[in-house]
Amino acid sequence: MNNRKATFKVIILLLLCASLNSCLSVDRKIKLYKDGSGEETMTISFMKEFYTMMSSMASIMDSARKESFLDSLYSDDIFMNKTKSGYDSIPGIKVSDIYSKRNPDSSNSFIIKYSFDSISSLGTSLDKAINEDNDSKISPAIVTLTKEGDEFVFNYVYEQPASEEMPENDSLAAQMKTGMSEMFGNGFINFEIEFPYEIVSSNATSTDNRSLKWNFPMSEVFLQSKMKLEARMKE
pLDDT in tens, 16-60: 444 444 577 889 999 999 999 999 999 988 876 665 666 566 665
pLDDT in tens, 127-137: 554 454 444 45
The structure's pTM equals 0.74
**Diameter over CA atoms, the chain:** 59
Q: What is the pLDDT of residue 133?
A: 46
Domain locations in the chain as residue ranges: 2-234
Q: What is the pLDDT of residue 145?
A: 95
Residue 15 host element (H or E): helix 2-16
Q: What is the pLDDT of residue 215?
A: 94
Compute the residue count for the chain. 235
Q: What is the pLDDT of residue 70?
A: 54
> Distances from the Cα of 129 to the Cαs of 11, 84, 151, 228, in angstroms?
25, 9, 33, 21
CA distance 112 to 146: 27
User: 198 or 76, which is more confident?
Assistant: 198
CA distance 201 to 187: 27
Strand intervals (E) in 118-219? 142-148, 151-159, 188-194, 198-202, 206-208, 211-217
pLDDT in tens, 134-181: 444 556 889 999 999 999 999 999 887 655 544 555 565 555 555 555
